[in-house]
Structure 1
Amino acid sequence: MLQPIETERLLLRPYHISDISTVQKIADDKAVAETTFIPYPYTTEKVGDWINSHSTLLKNGDAYPFAVVVKDENQLIGTMTIRIDKVHNKGELAYWIGKDFWGKGFATEASKRILDFGFNELNLNRIWAPVMKKNIASAKVMRKIGLSYEGTLKEDVFRMGNYEDVEVYGILKKTYR
């Protein structure tokens, strides 16, 4: 069972079926989809399938998806996930934050805590993150939390009719602060 994790302003907790409509409302936003890897449109059915997949992902240790909730308002604002590659003992950091909550430091605050979770609780050797090159805000988050730019995958993903470059950021446990 995935235990909730707290930061100063946030609660990172497992998803509940009751979150489906909130997630669909926040994530089914073209501005969010254009700079992330989430489906668009993000239908209630797709969100439900994703949330229903969590129990298997968690049971197998394949991924740890957390709902990002602002504690003071009990408001779900996004997702913070670490996907595990057991063969290579590394994790992929993936997240999205609803547009209304951009620019408030929530992604940085939650990502820092997920790095700690990945290195200290999951004992991973490396954590990395793919970021669309045009997502300048996420690239800033990666640098703020200590990940280093490792390279660009040219036209790596096809999103909304365009091939997009993806930047890769990463950090090793031995260099983690």
Structure 2
Amino acid sequence: MVAARQGSDYPFSQAAFAQPQNEWLAQLQQVQQQGVYAQDRLYWLQQLRAYVDQDRSLVEYQLMLDLAQRLCDWVMVIEIVNAMQSHYPFGQKDEAAITLLCALAEAYFQLGDYAAAIHLYKGALLRFYQNKRILDAYYWLTEKRQQMNKRDFPMAHGRRMGRQTETTELYLTPLESHHIHVFRWLYIHQQQGSKSVAELCNLPSFEDDQQWFDWQQNNQTMPNHDVYAVMHREWGFIGSVCLEVFHGVGFFYYWLGQDFQGYGFGPQAVSLLLEIGVEHNAMHSCYAKVYEDNDASQKAIEKLGFSVLPFRQAAPDDNEILYYLGPEQSEAACRTELETLYRDMGSHIALQHKVWLGE
């Protein structure tokens, strides 16, 4: 699964393996100064996992924590903070203890476990009474949670928290503004043949952060339109899924980061999404489309029981294959249902004209 940058000019283009302590420290110091390429992110995620269970110096732990935060590797942030607290107990009034607590709460928040993050802050307020930094974070998080509770869709569908005890690899949580940084890591790295995520899923190119925030906010205000972060229990954010449902008829798209393709995560994520559609949106049938040269996505969607429809969209959109999942019905019924769905979605895509006998 290593997706390292090729070329001898970059010293970390190699598979993850444990190295002597002094070499690991030197690499941490060097990467802190040089930064990380998007295509090298997985390598460093693996390196952190190779070293976190070993006894480290406080300096190493601090550098590992900084790297995990910059990589948005929130699973490792939790493990590193727990290791630091275990090996290096901090004093009752130590500012470093507050920093670690805030890092831990942010990690739970980023992973979608808002209750755990709030619980941490509540406990911290007893230990660090009236600490402004903790109070501000606690009030901000509780307000954020209240805002999210007003929106009528599941907070973390399929989640079983706890790295060692989970029974499911993936869960879905609403795509929120705080996901921008990890979204950027995967979106920049994503390449699939000659098409980017933007081309494959008809998404913006996101030339700056504000454009992404506008897009994310627009998603939340659109009726019948829900976008979720796909979360893996070990790797955190690995992609995104979207579902639109009108009058019980759904349409979805999804994308996964390049490092996480080919492991069956796509069908798992879509399966969770379809459960949401059925349980929360009264969805009885669903449509999707895949570019005709995207063999991997075609295989993934067919694993879920989708069938290829015997018609295409009109040019210039006729290079996509249409899929259907639902009760058996005629081609004419599918055409009518899909045309109605496109209108409800505000799409201008038309279907190819059907030439009937006698015309």
Per the normalisation by structure 1, the TM-score is 0.80
1:40 to 189, 205, 209: 205
Q: 1:115 and 1:173, CA in 2 relative to 1: closer, same or farther beyond 3 A?
A: farther
State the identity as a percent. Answer: 21
Q: Would you tell me which structure has more strand in proportion to its own residues?
A: 1
CA contact (8 A) 2:245 2:281 kept: no
CA contact (8 A) 1:21 1:44 kept: no
Q: CA deviation at 1:16?
A: 2.1
In the TM superposition, 1:72-91 aligns within 5 A as 72-73=234-235, 75-86=236-247, 89-91=248-250
Which residue in the other structure is 2:233 paired with?
A: 71
| Structure 1, unaligned runs of 5 or more | 158-163
Question: Whose RCO is larger (CA < 8 A, sep 6+)?
Answer: 1
CA RMSD of aligned residues (A): 2.3
Alpha-carbon distance in structure 2 between the residues aligned to 1:44 and 1:155: 33
Q: Which has the larger radius of gyration?
A: 2
**In the alignment, is the contact (CA less than 8 A) between 2:157 and 2:172 conserved in 1?**
yes
Counterpart selection for 2:215 from 42, 46, 50: 50
The CA deviation at 1:125 is: 2.4
Are the structure 2 counterparts of residues 45 and 173 from structure 1 closer, same or farther at C-alpha, using a change threshold of 3 Å? Answer: farther
Residues of 1 paired with 2:170 and 2:316: CA distance? Answer: 33
**SS of equivalent to 1:6:** coil
Query: Does the CA-based 8 Å contact 1:68-1:110 persist in structure 2?
Result: yes
Task: Provide closer, same or farther for how the CA distance between residues 41 and 65 of structure 1 changes in structure 2, counting only shifts above 3 A.
Answer: closer
Aligned match of 1:168 = 322
Q: Deviations over 1:128-173 (max 9, x none)?
A: 101111111111111000110013336444xxxxxx6011101115
Instruction: Name 1:24's counterpart in structure 2.
Output: 184
Tell me the SS of whatever aligns to 1:110: helix
The code of the aligned residue for 2:289 comes to P
Aligned equivalents of 1:173 and 1:22: distance in 2?
38
Q: Label 1:117 to 1:23 Cα distance change in 2 as closer, same or farther (>3 A).
A: same
The gaps in structure 2 that reach 5 residues or longer are 1-150, 160-167, 330-359
Distance 1:131 1:154 in 2: 15
In the TM superposition, 1:123-134 aligns within 5 A as 123-134=282-293
TM-fit CA distance, 1:103: 0.4
- TM-superposed CA distance for 1:54, in Å, is 3.3
- CA deviations 1:51-92 (Å, max 9, x no partner) are 2223313xx3x212110011223x211111111223xx3110
Greater helix content: 2
Q: Is the 8 A contact 2:171 2:272 kept in 1?
A: no
Q: CA deviation at 1:174?
A: 7.0
Give the direction of change, closer, same or farther, for the CA distance of 1:90–1:97 in structure 2 (3 Å limit).
same
Number of aligned residues: 163
CA contact (8 A) 1:80 1:96 kept: yes
CA contact (8 A) 1:24 1:43 kept: no
